[in-house]
Amino acid sequence: MQIHRFILFACATILLTACSLTKYVPENERLLSRTTIKSNVPEAPSDILEPFLQQEPNNYFLSLARIELAFYSASGEDTSKWINRWLRQIGEAPVLYDTTLTRNSQEQLEKQLGNKGYLHAKVNVVEKERKRQVKITYIVNGNEPYTIHAYKIEIPDDTIMSIIKERNILNTPRVGGLFDVDILAEERENVAKLLRRKGYFYFQKEALSFTVDSALNSNQVDILLGMQPSYLVNDSLLTRLFTKTEIGTVTIYDVSNLIAPTTKLDTVKSEGFVVIRDEKSNFTPKMLIFKTLIRPNSIYNERLVERTYSSLNSLQAIKYVDISFREEPDGKMGCNIVVTPAKVHSVSLDVEGTNSNGDLGMGMGVSYQNKNIFKGAEAFRIGVHGSYEAIGKLGDIKNSAELGGSMSINLPIFLVPFTSNDFKRKMGGTTEFSMSYNFQQRPEYKRNIANAGMKYAWRYRGTRFTLDVIDINYIYLPWMTTAFKEQYLKPSSSVRYSYEDHFIMRMGLGVSYSNRRNSVASNFYTLRGNISTAGNILYGISSAIGQSKNADNQYEIFNIAYSQYVKGDFDYTYNHYFNKRNRLVFHSGIGIAYPYGNATILPFEERYFSGGANSVRGWSVRTLGPGRYVNTGAIDYMNQSGDIRLDLNLEARFKLFWMFEGAAFIDAGNIWTIKDYEEQEGGYFQLNEFYKQIACSYGIGLRADFDFFVIRFDMGVKLFEPSGATSNDRWRTELSWKNDVAFHFAVGYPF
């Protein structure tokens, strides 16, 4: 029961921080305690209206206690002492109630409701005071809204009208819908943007205006979208707006100092482009031209301008891009593109400490990156890493070491054979070649792992794709102890293949999508899916040529058996935004892999594990499952792996104070084997049993947000242990720090 007492003590501490919050509130002032909005307008609930309030109270922790205000109030008046300065820095000064801001908030709410069609809305303010603290409630009464009776567009140009009529009308104002000013503003912008994408360079939203007629003696309006009256009386201006613009010369500047160049400039002309460079030029003209979607002698298209920005800014070697246009004497529109390079070279050093079930170790890695190695924005990376771990107890310590290196080059082009440059340019993809080597020395064995691969990556309509064209892994174990051989490599062992030399040649496709936009103040979800397969091509060749099998009924390549399997993963994450300080995150993940043909079990590198910082956090990494499998007490990574995984997580994230965030979570999941392996008793997946073997845990976490990365510390507590022999063993009602709590230190959010 020690853990329960700890949690109760922590909650009591938080609640006690609510004392003496008016310490720094002047005698003639009052502390703003809470603001609440009660709205009867379905289209404008309280969370939508809150941003229009001019004054908000001090931040609450889980709507219970104002911790930051408590820290500030705990400081002394002597600011020469560091402790008082620090408490005020991490704390928050009291928010003093301001009646003027309350009236402004009332007016802003009524104005926003009017924009949503509720022109007769009324907002009443209720003020309650207790012990020099004020609670404000805004009561919103929408009354009857105005709706759209008719909507028309009239522009004096038949070609433009035909373009507008053929567009997708899902986002236009709808007859019967609310008279929403925000929707009308969006409609004006969408029409202008549509026309600029069709070549009408000069057509801006300011040229359009709405005429609203509410003379129907009812809460209905007729809306007409047309040209501003000042434009209609100017024929030359209308001609300019209604004429498509052709792109003339496209000039790209790759100059270190464009304003005052210190060296002679060199001009390169190719494909109708002009590339101006100096002796310090950073990029090849060919690459800059290829990544530019604005083409000379073509009709202007604003979408291609946006895609050119995206295409060039996606290159690691470019810091930022500026695109501007100028009128040329022949009436065409010239385009100037200025690229500013980023820092080319970078070196990183990583040092980490490890604790694997009490075995301490450390690791270090160093890597070098050149973002423009051949002046074509090719990103080259090379790195080495090593680690050491002391395994065992004092007097019987054994060494475990790892040493490896990797090298890759990422090309900013979609190197697909038999495709045109236009296709490659529109896809905007990259091609990566990589290779790595890793040597592992453990007390039980030595292992070498070599890898080489080729991968494509690209985006299409907001969805990111990765295609592993080929990914080759070669695993070689030159030595292992006799005891290890007897345990894992005996003829009857179903896991022996994972500790024998083997060869994997795989290919796979990954897809990820998120509807998250620039603003974080909204709900969003993320979808990720991956499917991969290995050994099919090799198996087909072996079968076609009539290759003989070895004693284990397997085909071989270079005298080594190769893997054959199919594997699929799917993850879904949903973020529910309450306000800027609180959100709820749900995550679910499922994966399944099946060995067949040339293999009876998956390679260890491809099997799933459960427990750890990104899974069921009541267990340490690789210590949960499969199913109700019982660990003998020793480290048993091989047997505690499986072919099916399930993860379900629910996490509340909330701001605490300063850079710190808190979390409370519930995790569930496990892994299972897809075949009934003798060494993994209780791990076999059965449809009528698996739901009884889903492990559960709960816990709390603390995170430090440094803007560009997050450091995370989580404490998970077991709730349901599927391997328990009795009901009391499975449901953890009596808890202990040693057996039922797991601590996790990680970088980044778990999902």
Residues 6+ apart with CB under 8 A from 160: 195, 200, 242
> pLDDT tens digits for 428-462?
889 999 999 999 998 888 989 999 999 999 988 88
> pLDDT tens digits for 460-489?
888 999 999 999 999 998 998 888 887 777
Task: Establish if 496 belongs to a structural domain.
Answer: no
Residue 358 has pLDDT above 50, yes or no: yes
Measure the CA–CA gap between 648 and 694, rounded to whole angstroms: 10
**Whether 25 contacts 96, CB under 8 Å:** yes
Task: Establish if 518 belongs to a structural domain.
Answer: no
Higher pLDDT, 509 or 60: 509
Per-residue confidence (pLDDT) for residue 260, from 0 to 100: 64
* Mean pLDDT over the full length of the chain: 87
Going by C-alpha positions, the residue among 409, 404, 408 that lies closest to residue 437 is 404
Name the domain boundary from 341, 359, 391.
341
With 0-12 / 13-18 / 19 or more C-beta atoms within 10 angstroms meaning exposed / middle / buried, residue 570 is: middle
Measure the CA–CA gap between 607 and 616, rounded to whole angstroms: 17
Task: Establish if 434 belongs to a structural domain.
Answer: no
> Which segments within 515-620 are labelled E, that is strand?
524-534, 556-557, 560-561, 565-579, 582-595
Element (H, E) at 488: helix 482-488
> pLDDT tens digits for 195-221?
999 999 999 999 999 999 886 668 899
Instruction: Estimate the share of the chain in helix, then strand, then coil, as percent rounded to the nearest 5.
Output: 20, 40, 40
Per-residue confidence (pLDDT) for residue 526, from 0 to 100: 95
Residue 17 has pLDDT above 50, yes or no: no
Residue 345 has pLDDT above 90, yes or no: yes
Going from the C-alpha of 668 to that of each of 210, 307, 550, 720, the distances in angstroms are: 55, 42, 42, 9
Task: Establish if 159 belongs to a structural domain.
Answer: yes
Residue 317 has pLDDT above 90, yes or no: yes
Name the domain boundary from 297, 324, 341.
341
Segment 263-287 shows an average pLDDT of: 87
Tally of residues, the chain? 751
Same domain, 87 and 119: yes
N- to C-terminal Cα separation, the chain: 30
Same domain, 197 and 272: no
152: domain CATH number?
Answer: 3.10.20
Indicate the range of 114-118, 533-537, 658-662, 698-702 predicted with least confidence.
Answer: 658-662
- What are the beta bridge partners of residue 346? 369
| DSSP assignments along 202-249, one per residue | T--GGGEEEEEE-TTSSSEEEEEEEE-HHHHT-HHHHHHHTS--BEEE
Same domain, 202 and 305: no
Same domain, 10 and 51: yes
Same domain, 110 and 72: yes
Same domain, 152 and 119: no
Residue 634 has pLDDT above 60, yes or no: no
Per-residue confidence (pLDDT) for residue 15, from 0 to 100: 45
**98 is written with which tokens?**
């301001």
> Which segments within 57-98 are labelled E, that is strand?
none
Per-residue confidence (pLDDT) for residue 171, from 0 to 100: 60
Indicate the range of 451-460, 650-659, 731-740 predicted with least confidence.
Answer: 731-740
Task: Establish if 698 belongs to a structural domain.
Answer: no
Residue 557 has pLDDT above 60, yes or no: yes
> In a 3-state reduction of DSSP, which class is residue 456?
strand
**Whether 350 contacts 360, CB under 8 Å:** no
Same domain, 66 and 190: no
Measure the CA–CA gap between 75 and 73, rounded to whole angstroms: 5
Measure the CA–CA gap between 640 and 607, rounded to whole angstroms: 10
- What are the beta bridge partners of residue 449? 438, 475
Per-residue confidence (pLDDT) for residue 18, from 0 to 100: 43
- Other beta carbons within 10 angstroms of residue 395's beta carbon come to 5
Same domain, 116 and 30: yes
**443 is written with which tokens?**
């007390």
Same domain, 9 and 132: yes
**Band of the pLDDT at 86, cuts 50, 70, 90?**
confident
Same domain, 118 and 32: yes
> pLDDT tens digits for 382-428?
999 998 877 665 556 677 899 999 999 999 998 888 888 888 888 88
Residues 6+ apart with CB under 8 A from 154: 224, 225, 226
Measure the CA–CA gap between 671 and 677, rounded to whole angstroms: 14
DSSP 8-state assignment for residue 610 = B
Between CA 392 and CA 403, with CA 398 as vertex, the angle to 5 degrees is: 120
Measure the CA–CA gap between 669 and 615, rounded to whole angstroms: 8
Name the domain boundary from 241, 275, 290.
241
Residue 651 has pLDDT above 70, yes or no: yes
Residue 569 has pLDDT above 60, yes or no: yes
Measure the CA–CA gap between 636 and 671, rounded to whole angstroms: 15
Task: Establish if 88 belongs to a structural domain.
Answer: yes
> In a 3-state reduction of DSSP, which class is residue 427?
helix
Residue 744 has pLDDT above 70, yes or no: yes
Same domain, 333 and 252: yes
**For residue 711, which phi and psi values (nearest 5 degrees)?**
-100, 130
**Whether 325 contacts 302, CB under 8 Å:** no
Q: Report the percent of the chain where pLDDT is more than 70.
A: 91
**300 is written with which tokens?**
């202007």
Task: Establish if 526 belongs to a structural domain.
Answer: no
53: domain CATH number?
Answer: 3.10.20.310
Q: Which domain holds residue 316?
A: 247-341
Cα 319 to chain centroid, rounded: 22
Same domain, 228 and 120: no
Measure the CA–CA gap between 236 and 22, rounded to whole angstroms: 67
Per-residue confidence (pLDDT) for residue 210, from 0 to 100: 93
Higher pLDDT, 558 or 509: 509
**Whether 307 contacts 428, CB under 8 Å:** yes
> pLDDT tens digits for 66-84?
888 888 888 888 888 888 8
Segment 703-722 shows an average pLDDT of: 88
**For residue 606, which phi and psi values (nearest 5 degrees)?**
-105, -5
Task: Establish if 177 belongs to a structural domain.
Answer: yes
Between CA 709 and CA 274, with CA 410 as vertex, the angle to 5 degrees is: 110
Our count of domains for the chain comes to: 3
Cα 62 to chain centroid, rounded: 25
Residue 16 has pLDDT above 50, yes or no: no
Q: Is 312 left (phi over 0), alpha (psi -120 to 50) or beta?
A: alpha
